[in-house]
Amino acid sequence: MTASHSLDPLDQFKRWLAEAEHTEPNDPNAMALATATADGAPSVRMVLLKEVTEDGFVFYTNLGSRKGMELSANPRAALCVHWKTLRRQVRVEGAVQPVDDAEADAYFGSRARVSQIGAWASKQSQPLIGRFELEGRVAKFAARYAVGAVPRPEFWSGFKVWPEAIEFWEDRPFRLHMRHLYEQRDGEWTVTDLYP
């Protein structure tokens, strides 16, 4: 291991994310989330990273969405965060677990009220007849929860990706890019430099 490597890739990720928060024009926490069906058919979409804990990467969704259903059937995922202004990328692969109810409740409670109502109104990933249908559902739940706190729907929660591999990529001149691959084995991280 060279001096340029961090001993903890999650700490390294947090440092890069903090830098990106000062340079990226929009959503420095945006990441591509790849999931797969039980028989291995992949799909990918952009989501927002909401927390980096000492043991993983947390995001939230409607559990009935395509990603929610795929993660229930095949609890493994890959993430890719790309910061264009910094010319950096981080890839993560690992097992996925639901967050606990207390964690989901706390995050849901921190969201803007309109986002909370939107979570109730959206039948995420299901066919939508027209915009009027969605607006009607928003009005319905806005009226239902006009006073007091908006409770978290049972069908809305979060997932944590427990990283087994994290790769850091940084642009270098002449395509001689820096790549460090961290792999977790028996609770310890090992790091390998990769050819670009």
Q: Rounded to an integer, what distance in angstroms lies between the CA atom of residue 178 and that of residue 170?
A: 5
The radius of gyration of the chain's CA atoms, rounded to the nearest angstrom, is 19
What pLDDT does 2 receive? 41
Nearest to 71 by CA among 27, 108, 121, 125: 125
Nearest to 7 by CA among 177, 180, 195, 196: 180
What is the CB neighbour count within 10 angstroms for residue 151?
12
Q: Rounded to an integer, what distance in angstroms lies between the CA atom of residue 23 and that of residue 62?
A: 30
Q: How confident is the model at residue 4 (pLDDT cuts 50, 70, 90)?
A: low
The model's pLDDT over 68-126, given as tens digits with 9 standing for 90+, comes to 999 999 999 999 999 999 999 999 999 999 999 999 999 999 999 999 999 999 999 99
Domains identified in the chain and CATH numbers: 9-102+155-193 (2.30.110.10)
The model's pLDDT over 162-178, given as tens digits with 9 standing for 90+, comes to 999 999 999 999 989 99
Considering all CA atoms of the chain, what is the largest pairwise distance in Å, rounded to the nearest integer? 60
What pLDDT does 7 receive? 81
Burial of 134 (0-12, 13-18, 19+ CB in 10 A): middle
For residues 87 and 170, is the Cβ–Cβ distance under 8 A?
A: yes
The model's pLDDT over 133-145, given as tens digits with 9 standing for 90+, comes to 999 999 999 999 9
The model's pLDDT over 60-80, given as tens digits with 9 standing for 90+, comes to 999 999 999 999 999 999 999
pTM: 0.92
